[in-house]
Amino acid sequence: MNPRLKLSKLDCARRQLELAIELFFLERDPVSIHTLAGAARQLLQDINKHRGGKPLMTEIEALKGIVIPGKEEEVSRLFRKAENFFKHADRDPEATIDFSPEINELVLWEASAKYHEFTSETTPPMGAINIWFQVGHPELFTNEFLKQAQFKNAVLWVKSLNRIQFYKEILNAALLRGV
């Protein structure tokens, strides 16, 4: 018989997030990835509210001043549309969705950043998604960040590998470092 697990909300968020990241890099089912990532993000969002932290991108407060005034709730709903679709069928049991799996990278990256903010910890899977996202979306980051020699070297290395190879290399490097 397996022993019982005593878990905090942050423990649960970490476990969900790490598995979602692993599934992402192993190119597994994007719906399952999104569901796990969304569950982790929701735990982190709730903890964040209790701690008075800076809102996540999916929250209405974070959208003020970014989107047209009065449209914040609509944009927030769009962020959560797939997440809610994958969890609920009470109002629309016959509905379908046009899901874009690319959103998974953003959710995984944001949740990893929030987890790090709370714990100062970046696990190997979270480090992997951070590097992957930043290299894949340099247009989202400041010129100062992009000019760093470390970033330029990371770009060359990441672009030489496919997603699965990259993840295996990150995990191997973490094992060698004893992380």
**Per-position DSSP letters for 67-132, written without gaps between them:** B-TT-HHHHHHHHHHHHHHHH--SS-TT------TTHHHHHHHHHHHHHHHHHS---HHHHHHHHH
Please provide residue 67's backbone torsions phi and psi, each rounded to the nearest 5 degrees: -105, 170
Dihedral, CA of residue 22, residue 141, residue 12 and residue 167, to nearest 10: 20
Region 147-161 average pLDDT: 80
pLDDT at 111: 95
Check: CB of residue 121 under 8 Å from CB of residue 106.
no
1: pLDDT strictly greater than 80? no
Q: Which two tokens stand for residue 23?
A: 């599934």
Among residues 171, 3, 16, 176, the alpha carbon closest in space to that of 83 is found at: 16
Least confident piece of the model among 9-18, 48-57, 59-68, 114-123:
59-68
pLDDT at 73: 84
Beta bridge partners of 64: 67
Residue-averaged pLDDT of the chain: 89
Confidence label for 141 from pLDDT (cuts 50, 70 and 90): confident
In the chain, pLDDT over 70 holds for what percent of residues? Answer: 94
Q: Domains of the chain: which residue ranges?
A: 9-177
Among residues 131, 123, 87, the alpha carbon closest in space to that of 105 is found at: 131
Confidence label for 179 from pLDDT (cuts 50, 70 and 90): low
pLDDT at 114: 93
pLDDT at 136: 87
Among residues 172, 7, 20, the alpha carbon closest in space to that of 110 is found at: 20
Q: What is the C-alpha to C-alpha distance for residues 107 and 123, in angstroms, rounded to an integer?
A: 16
Least confident piece of the model among 6-15, 96-105, 135-144, 151-160:
135-144
Q: Which of 70-84, 110-124, 130-144 has the highest mean pLDDT?
A: 110-124
Side chain identity at 125, as an amino acid letter? Answer: P
Confidence label for 102 from pLDDT (cuts 50, 70 and 90): very high
Q: What is the C-alpha to C-alpha distance for residues 32 and 59, in angstroms, rounded to an integer?
A: 22
* DSSP single-letter state for residue 64: B
Tens digits of per-residue pLDDT, 28-66? 999 999 999 999 999 999 999 999 998 887 777 776 776
